[in-house]
Amino acid sequence: MTANRALTPALLVACIIAVFIACLLGSTPMPIDRVLLALFGSGDVSDQIVIWQIRLPRALAAFATGAALGISGAALQGLLRNPLAEPGVLGVSASASLFATFSLYYGLVALSPWVLPIAAMLGALAATALIALAAIKTRSVVTLILVGVGISAFAGAAMSLLMNLAPTPFTLSDMINWMLGSVANRSFRELGFAAPFILGGSAILLASRRGLSALTLGEEAASGIGLNLRNQRILTVLGAGIATGGSVALAGAIGFVGIVAPHIVRPFVGHDPARSLIPSALLAGLILVLADIGVRILPTVNELKLGVVAALIGAPAFIWIAMGRRAIHD
Amino acid sequence: MTELVAEKLSVHAGKTALVAQADFRVGAGEFVALIGPNGAGKTSLLRASLGLEKANGGCASIDGDNCAELAPMQRARRVAYLPQQRPLAWPNTVRDVVALGRYAYGAAPGRLGNQDADAVERALMKCGLKELASRHTDTLSGGELARVHFARALASDAGLLVADEPVAALDPRHQFRIMDIIHQYVAAGGGALVVLHDISLAARYASRMIWMKDTRIICDGPVEDTLTAERMADVFGVRAKVNGRAVEIEGAA
């Protein structure tokens, strides 16, 4: 039990250390004393710029993105009672990034800085709502995942169409950024516009988490013990949609962290979906901060996209988890 | 002391009637077996009488409160419901699953008040699960799992228990253990409405039998009065030898 209690504090400490390391490392490694001075607003002015305008916001953006995907993944898994449910797999991220790309393509983002996060959130909500509707109709989780794959494929095709029609190479590269997912060059300003969505969505998920434990018994028995199934579905879909939308607005579509983090966390929290939310968020945040450090220090010609690295690690994990599942669960 | 009353309850799926004009009541100290062939409408009757499924006519009430209007948690504190399908999505510990029985009191696994923890311990004790409390549910046998679900239902301290085929697919020993658990629950002042397919088991334990056939309740009364060879032939289409509470099925009629 003690090891389980220590999970959340340990993850929190690890996250803080990882963000600090992200400030140390980069194209020009900076010694600890200079980073500390810069963090507390003294020391060399150029150091302060590197830390406060480049490295720290980027690390925090990676953390916020991961945290949003981790908590959404854990909550969707609880709702759908399946460890393979996740914003990326269910097409929620793809749909969000399609809406975001759409708003970029038509120049809507020039209207207000809120357009991008709101478009991403609407895209995420559209996909989550569709999946929740399908969940009411079908009891088979395999069908749900297939619906998600369909949404993903459709969003991908629509995105390709937009790229096909892209007027300039510049818009094209912008779109590729959204499809692949990256936190390069993020500032506190962008973080500020995504944060209300990520925090708001997470708050909804945390407030309604008890119902996710009830759903362990299946929908029928969960209703029997007093769960309002309809409200639970709405709250989880809304929370996951808003949080995922916020993460996509910040970093584009990044897949699979939402599967990997809850999967690792679950045995430590007694396989209880409610208790897996916060540790999953922290672990997913940690994973993305570390992956982004990797992306930055790997000596590649073009910087790798964070979403590509996440998928390279996450997709095999997805296959591994899927193959390890026992048939009795469906 | 809880009483569940259904009056002229009807349920339709599209144009097909599932339950027609059902009247029954179940109160404290009663062990009522709901008997009938597959497709007679037993599960729909249970669901509609608890307000889990919309009734197309009539009404059901728990202690005078209309079930359809009762808040889910309010209802769950008065009636514990064990559905036919009892999937467990995650391999939680036995104690955590039983703790879900306290959901209607605002508790959650890992966050139990003193009263909740007491209720969970008592339920584990009654179902003989003390030794298994820390085991993960994916390591249990079917019989043990059935007891876990019962403990979950008992943990709610509800006055009424509604169970849909709780002994299906269990070996004889486990069937008797489950029936004994229900028997003790009723002896302690609870009321139970239980769907059973094993007529001899039902006849041995139940204080009353409700017989259902083709969407209707055709008979409701003490076992000795309602269990007859003619009724077995009429409802189930089987030849049976009935002697008091003992029944032996000899074959299809």
State pLDDT tens for residues B13-29.
Answer: 888 999 999 999 999 99
Q: Can you tell me which residue has the tokens 């979403």?
A: A307
- Per-residue H/E/C for chain B: CCCEEEEEEEEEECCEEEEEEEEEEECCCCEEEEECCCCCCHHHHHHHHCCCCCCCEEEEEECCEECCCCCHHHHHHHEEEECCCCCCCCCCEHHHHHHHHHHHHCCECCECCHHHHHHHHHHHHHCCCHHHCCCEHHHCCHHHHHHHHHHHHHCCCCCEEEEECCCCCCCHHHHHHHHHHHHHHHHCCCEEEEECCCHHHHHHHCCEEEEEECCEEEEEECHHHHCCHHHHHHHHCEEEEEECCEEEEEEEC
The ipTM, to two decimals, is 0.91
Total of domains in chain B? 1
Q: Return the pLDDT at B70.
A: 92
- Nearest residue of A to residue B79, measured between CA atoms: A224
Q: Is B148 on the interface with A (CB under 8 A)?
A: no
Each residue's pLDDT tens digit, B84-119: 988 899 999 999 999 999 999 999 888 899 999 999
CA distance to partner chain B, nearest, from residue A308 (Å) = 31
Q: In whole angstroms, what is the distance from residue B191 CA to residue B1 CA?
A: 8
Asked if B83's CB is within 8 angstroms of A221's CB, the reply is: yes
- Min Cα separation B23/chain A (Å): 22
> Where would I find the beta strands (DSSP E) of chain A?
none
B78/A302 Cα distance (integer angstroms)? 65
- And the tokens for B172? 């004889």
Per-residue pLDDT, A3: 56
Q: Which of residues 226-285 of A touch B (CB under 8 A)?
A: 226-228, 266, 270-275
A329 to chain B: nearest residue by CA?
B89
- CATH code where residue B92 lies: 3.40.50.300
Domain span holding position B35: 4-252
Share of chain B above pLDDT 90, in %: 88
> Measured at the alpha carbon of residue B104, what is the angle toward residues B98 and B107, in degrees to the nearest 5?
65
Compare B73 and A174 and report the one with higher pLDDT.
B73
Nearest to B26 by CA among B244, B240, B185: B185
Domain positions in chain A are 2-329
First to last CA, chain A: 30
**Phi (first) and psi of residue A304, to 5 degrees:** -65, 150
CA distance A226 to A44: 60
User: Which residues of chain A does B136 touch, with a Cβ-Cβ cutoff of 8 Å?
Assistant: 271
Environment class of residue B202 by beta-carbon count within 10 Å: exposed (0-12), middle (13-18) or buried (19+)? buried
The C-alpha of A77 sits at a distance from chain B's nearest C-alpha, in angstroms, of: 10
Beta strand B4-13 pairing with B16-26 = antiparallel
Set of chain A residues whose Cβ sits within 8 Å of the Cβ of B150:
none
Q: How far is CA A98 from the centre of its chain?
A: 16
Q: Comparing C-alpha atoms, which of B214, B205, B226 is closest to residue B36?
A: B214
Under an 8 A CB cutoff, do B89 and A228 touch? no
Q: Hey, are the CB atoms on B103 and A213 less than 8 Å from each other? A: yes
Of B72, B80, B96, the CB nearest to A227: B72
Residue whose structure tokens are 């077996």: B33
Neighbours of A241 (CB within 10 A): 31
Contacts of A173 (CB under 8 A, 6+ apart): none
Architecture (CATH level 2) of domain A2-329: Orthogonal Bundle (1.10)
Contacts of B73 in chain A (CB under 8 A): 226
Enter the tokens of residue B73.
Answer: 């948690």
Inform me whether the C-beta atom of residue A171 falls under 8 Å from chain B C-beta atoms: no
pLDDT string in tens for chain A (330-residue length)? 455 778 999 999 999 999 999 999 877 788 888 888 888 888 888 888 888 999 999 999 999 999 999 999 999 999 988 888 888 888 898 899 899 888 888 878 788 888 888 898 899 999 988 888 887 777 676 787 788 889 989 998 998 888 888 777 777 877 787 788 888 888 999 999 999 999 999 999 999 999 999 999 998 999 999 999 888 988 998 899 999 999 999 998 898 899 999 999 999 999 999 999 999 999 999 999 999 999 888 887 788 889 988 888 888 888 888 887 664 444
Among B100, B135, B160, the strongest candidate for a mutation testing the A interface, having the largest count of A CBs within 10 A, is: B100
pLDDT in tens, B127-178: 999 999 999 999 999 999 999 999 999 999 999 999 999 998 899 999 999 9
